Amino acid sequence: MSTYFFTDVGALAGRTLRHITRSLDTIITTVLTPIAMMVMFVYVFGGAIDTGADAYVNYLLPGILLITVASGVAYTAFRIFMDLKSGIFERFQSMPIIRSGVLWAHVVTSLVANLISLVVVVGVALLMGFRSDAGVLDWLAVAGMLFLFTLALTWIAVIPGLSASTVEGAGAFAYPLIFLPFVSSAFVPTETMPGPVRWFAEHQPVTSIVDTIRQLFAGQLVGDDIWTALAWCVGVLVVAYAFAMAAYRRKVA
């Protein structure tokens, strides 16, 4: 059973990955948008923001990486919606393949596409002066955190992809995810925020994830933020997966 699962998902993921390589506008939007934001904040606003002795690009990068993922998963919802409307899901259901294979193929494609985007963004950050004292284990921990975050957001994207009535609705869910880092420690220290905004920023998931990645990049000992970040990622992943699979069963029943 597992062999068939991986074979089917691999073949179907190859199909969706080929669609991405043929869609230049998707690549440009998911990669250039966060890079443009990073350039603007570092070179336009960075001089006015006090983040201590560290370079602002070092402070900013973790938040930009999360925005990159949020931008990327919007296209996962779009691709699922288009496949659903074109009848691809029903066509694959009539073939001798794993029933949920087409859905998992979109998830795998999201992980691969976002990995490429994240590598490109980190490369540009290095050109802009980003430097890290992280060791190999720290970099692996950052990769693991971003993997969990991407997986959680991807399963969130599956839900509107399956249930939206319009293509605009399928992608609209990503806007709150993209703007959530702006009300966190991603761009400025939360200590500079007024009371109610500071409380929200310090208790929403992005802040703990950003702070954890920032500490790992700096090669510092990670505090309790990592457990909060992991709890958020795993909790969102479990809930999103359950709702996504329920939506999928309703669509293909």
The pLDDT assigned to 192 comes to 85
Query: Contact at 8 Å (CB) between 184 and 204?
Result: yes
pLDDT in tens, 131-182: 998 899 999 999 999 999 999 999 999 998 888 878 777 777 778 888 899 9
Confidence of residue 1 (pLDDT cuts 50, 70, 90): very low
Confidence of residue 22 (pLDDT cuts 50, 70, 90): low
pLDDT in tens, 42-79: 988 777 777 776 788 999 999 999 999 998 888 888 88
The pLDDT assigned to 3 comes to 58
Distance CA 12, CA 108 (A): 10
168 or 99: which leads in pLDDT: 168
Q: How far is it between the farthest Cα atoms of the chain?
A: 61
pLDDT in tens, 186-210: 998 888 889 899 999 999 999 999 9
pTM listed for this prediction:
0.89
The pLDDT assigned to 92 comes to 63
Q: If we measure between CA atoms, which residue out of 79, 87, 31, 244 comes closest to residue 152?
A: 244
Q: Does residue 10 carry a pLDDT above 80?
A: no
22 or 185: which leads in pLDDT: 185
Radius of gyration of the CA atoms of the chain, in A:
19
The pLDDT assigned to 99 comes to 66
Distance CA 209, CA 197 (A): 18
